[in-house]
């Protein structure tokens, strides 16, 4: 898992060309004029999901992981906590579904507070628990999740 602000995006450009493209897209796009939903950057290889929601209490969140895609979760407006943990330290509660590229888990992890213009990158070995309210106080959040095909 990587956590940083978008101003430091060049630090991660060497990980992969798709991650570089995704971070540049996040830095240069005005999401206030876009509709929620999927926005293709390179078909199924690289796409963005624009979401608007209210953050939720920690106990309502779900641990999840993906095998086919890397997630970059970027906060456009608002603040939330996101949990993270190695998938091997968690217990699967819903078996991996290859069609939806998701499995759900239970267990304990660490949390990071993600503010406006900050992002987390979650790799296939990272379980994550997004949308968590800071101090259990629900807040409006605008987030972009970039899905990057893991090769």
- For residue 53, give the CATH number of its domain: 2.60.120.370
Phi, psi of 41 (to 5 degrees): -110, -35
Q: Are 16 and 149 in contact (CB under 8 A)?
A: no
pLDDT value of position 20: 98
| CA–CA distance, 96 with 63 (Å, rounded to integer) | 12
Domain count, the chain: 1
Exposure on the CB side of residue 72, measured as CA atoms within 13 A? 30
pLDDT tens for 60-108 read 999 999 999 999 999 999 999 999 999 999 999 999 999 999 999 999 9
Q: What is the pTM of this model?
A: 0.96
pLDDT value of position 32: 93
- Residue range(s) defining the domain that contains residue 74: 2-149
């Amino acid at each position: 898992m990587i956590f940083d602000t978008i101003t430091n995006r060049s630090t991660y450009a060497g990980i992969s060309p798709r991650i570089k493209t995704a971070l540049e897209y996040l830095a240069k796009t005005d999401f206030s004029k876009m509709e929620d939903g999927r926005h293709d950057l390179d078909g199924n290889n690289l796409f963005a999901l624009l979401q608007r929601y209210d953050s939720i209490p920690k106990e309502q969140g779900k641990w999840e992981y993906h095998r086919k895609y890397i997630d970059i979760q970027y906060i456009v407006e608002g603040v939330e906590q996101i949990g993270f943990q190695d998938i091997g330290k968690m217990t699967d509660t819903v078996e991996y579904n290859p069609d939806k590229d998701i499995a759900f888990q239970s267990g304990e992890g660490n949390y990071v507070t993600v503010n406006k213009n900050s992002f987390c990158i979650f790799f296939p070995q990272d379980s994550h628990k997004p949308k968590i309210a800071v101090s259990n106080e629900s807040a409006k959040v605008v987030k972009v999740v970039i899905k990057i095909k893991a090769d």
